[in-house]
């Protein structure tokens, strides 16, 4: 017995194969459950993918959802900061089409703070604890 665990894109490819073979969604689902057991998706998911294939969309990747946050890399933010260190968080968020809180979180994670209207690296200086006797 194989230890192969199919990922969702693989299973979508198999579904597309069955769609091209003129199988029904229910039959495709039954075969997938027989072969992959618990790793096969629900029958309703098969039906949705078959409807998608029938509409002419054969892309096996997920569609971007309207409410899904845009993913971006820190280098995009760094590039904007390199262009102009005086940009506000709101301006940066608008440029990257994301919410301001995400910019705030990323800047904090990057160790950046705003000083005199410009973004600078903030480095904590080690402090020695003072104990009173």
Contact yes or no for 47/25 (Cβ under 8 A): yes
pLDDT tens digit sequence for 99-110: 888 888 888 888
CATH for the 8-54 domain, from 3.40.50.2300, 3.40.50.300, 1.10.10.1450, 3.90.1150.10 = 1.10.10.1450
Read off the tokens for 105: 């979180």
At the topology level, CATH places domain 74-121 in Arc Repressor Mutant, subunit A (1.10.10)
Q: Are the C-beta atoms of 36 and 11 separated by less than 8 Å?
A: yes
Q: Is the pTM of this model over 0.85?
A: no
- Which residues contact residue 123 at a Cβ distance below 8 angstroms, ignoring those fewer than 6 apart? 111
Q: What's residue 128's pLDDT?
A: 56
| 3-class SS of residue 50 | helix
């Amino acid at each position: 017995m194989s230890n192969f665990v199919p990922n969702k894109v693989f299973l979508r490819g198999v579904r597309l194969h069955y769609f091209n073979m003129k199988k029904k969604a229910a039959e495709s689902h039954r075969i997938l459950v027989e072969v992959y057991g618990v790793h096969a998706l629900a029958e309703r998911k098969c039906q949705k993918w078959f409807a998608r294939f029938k509409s002419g969309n054969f892309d096996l990747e997920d569609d971007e959802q309207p409410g899904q946050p845009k993913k971006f890399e820190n280098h995009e933010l760094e590039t904007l900061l390199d262009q102009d260190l005086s940009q506000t968080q709101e301006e940066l968020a608008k440029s990257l089409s994301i919410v301001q809180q995400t910019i705030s979180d990323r800047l904090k994670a990057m160790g950046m703070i705003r000083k005199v209207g410009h973004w600078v690296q903030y480095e904590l200086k080690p402090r020695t604890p003072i104990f009173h006797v």
